[in-house]
Amino acid sequence: MQQPSYTSNEPPPRSELWWDRVPSLKIVRPPKGPFSPQVDERCLTFCSQSITGRIHGHDPWCRSLCLRRVFLHEVTRVLSHHQSQSVHQLPGRPPRIETTDVVETAPVHHPLPPEGQRYSGWLHALLGRTLHGEPDPASGASEPVGMDDLRYWKAGWYLWWSRSRWAAQERMDLMRRSLDSQSEWQRLKERRNDEWAHGAAYDESRFVEDANRIDDLASMPPFPDVSHESILLPIPDTLPLGEQFGNVLAPTWKVLDVVRESVQSGAQTELAHRLCEKAFTDEPIKLLRVCCSMIWENMGFGEDDDGSDPTDPRKKP
């Protein structure tokens, strides 16, 4: 009897074997690079609205915070990939051939959004350093003035903060886009706004049909600029927290060193013996009586007879 032919592109189904039911461990290595499932951005958005704000159609009060990690494969392009072989000869052993992968890359310049271009460098000034190729904050150059001063995405961590609900909505949309696609989206917005500013007609079918009926959008550009309500900061790879904590705790270490030296030299033991000797004399009682008499005098009850020790040298005859 002839077996029916299997025409599917997938491999034919395999019959279950008895050792398939035996519990086993599987080591799964997730892919790296653009196919990695690793999280590269997390956002937290909080909004609230008041009764009067809702009645008058005001925007809600919103605050958004995002932490973005840019990986190396997002800002580099692979030029070539080949394998290199090298021969290692050890005395008394046959030669050993080692194969290594050689990858040649080139940087890809994706400009930062407007909120990143207007970054003034106050965070790096606070930390006392400049990273990511930023200019010195003390030089006074706070905003780029030309194409040569554009800032670009680089591998590392970035902090994004905004108080605009429009910027938060756009940020959520940009989470599904790569850096290249984000740059293209920014160029599209600038081109549409430039056309609107020069009085050019744009296709209103791209917008909601009743937008002008609900809100007064006739005097607004297609993409309002809300970047002034947002900020994008590069986070240094290594924060100088250890040095700062060291400066704060430096006096503590000095005090501990003095205490340790006093314990090792026996000064603490000698002080404890002297305290015990003083505790069994009449000096603590005399000191207590003097303190009580002074308190009694300050309260105004010891003008005639305060009951103090007559041997007190401070008592006038």
Tens of pLDDT, residue by residue over 111-121, are 999 988 876 55
Burial class (CB in 10 A: 0-12, 13-18, 19+), 313: exposed
Looking at residue 139, what is its pLDDT? 42
Looking at residue 201, what is its pLDDT? 60
Looking at residue 238, what is its pLDDT? 66
Burial class (CB in 10 A: 0-12, 13-18, 19+), 162: buried
In this prediction, the residues of the chain whose per-residue pLDDT falls under 70 are 1-12, 14, 119-148, 200-220, 238-242, 302-317
d(CA 226, CA 165): 9
Torsion of CA 298, 301, 305, 308, to 10 degrees: -40
d(CA 172, CA 182): 12
pLDDT, one tens digit per residue, over 126-170 is 444 444 445 443 343 444 445 667 899 999 999 999 999 899 999
Looking at residue 224, what is its pLDDT? 75
Looking at residue 10, what is its pLDDT? 65
